[in-house]
Amino acid sequence: MKKKPLEFRHIKFIFLKLVLILFLMSVLWVLLYRWVAPPVTLHMMQRRAEAGTAGKENPQINYRFVTLEEMSQQLPLAVVASEDQRFLQHSGFDFDAIWDAFKRNQEGKNIRGGSTISQQVAKNVFLWHGRSYLRKAVEAYFTFLIELLWGKQRILEVYLNIAEMGDGVFGVEAAAQKYFRKPAKDLKRQQAALLAAVLPNPLKYSAQNPSSFVRRRRTRIARAMGYLGGTTYIKPILPKEEEK
């Protein structure tokens, strides 16, 4: 009879130790990517596996990480205007957008999510894709961590590099080279808006052969970029230019 309390305490100790180890590993993982470019993400590996399963020969992932200094300022502005206009104000979660998405989904109107750029980074870099309460809970945890340990500048930089912008095409540098034959540094407003226009579904929408829907969406995004005040709007989170 006396063994049961001892066994329970032992199991509890092992469980708490495991939780602590997982917590420390997750913090170290996030801290590592604060300074080191992710060599690959779980989403990239998932997409490559799906392509292989579908019978695609030599499925490749086109991905090259570049810093914010190495890309046109129109690109961060375009994704903020398109995906998360409150990015500079919220702390990882836009509860108004989440509530609006919930109401629209309940009414069956244009099923959509309310994820911020921070949540998308947490999901695409550290987690698997899928719909479950467990994954959403872990996503919220990693969103909190990157907001705390990375800051807005790094979150936006990583997002622009790991966002899928075509079949196997990840990040603005790979997309700029593939679709415009130029580096991300040289993209103009309309080109940046076009890349942002395909983000909701890069396997359905194409920046190389944009449909009328994608072209209309590009126009709306370019207009929103102007309404926000142009690149001045995102200046506070861009790297400071060195004084000459």
Residue 212 lies in a domain: yes
Residue 187 lies in a domain: yes
* The pLDDT of residue 242: 44
Number of domains in the chain: 1
Domain span at residue 96 reads 8-50+61-236
As given in the structure block, the two tokens for residue 146 are 């990157």
As given in the structure block, the two tokens for residue 145 are 């961590």
* The pLDDT of residue 193: 98
Q: How far apart are CA 109 and CA 175, in angstroms?
A: 31
Q: How far apart are CA 74 and CA 152, in angstroms?
A: 17
* The pLDDT of residue 58: 60
Query: The whole model's pTM is what?
Result: 0.88
Query: Which CATH number do you get for residue 14?
Result: 1.10.3810.10
Q: How far apart are CA 130 and CA 113, in angstroms?
A: 13
Intervals of the chain under pLDDT 50: 1, 242-244
Summarised one tens digit per residue, pLDDT across range 39-77 is: 999 889 888 888 766 666 666 889 999 999 999 999 999
* The pLDDT of residue 13: 79
Residue 244 lies in a domain: no
* The pLDDT of residue 43: 86
Neighbours of 76 (CB within 10 A): 25
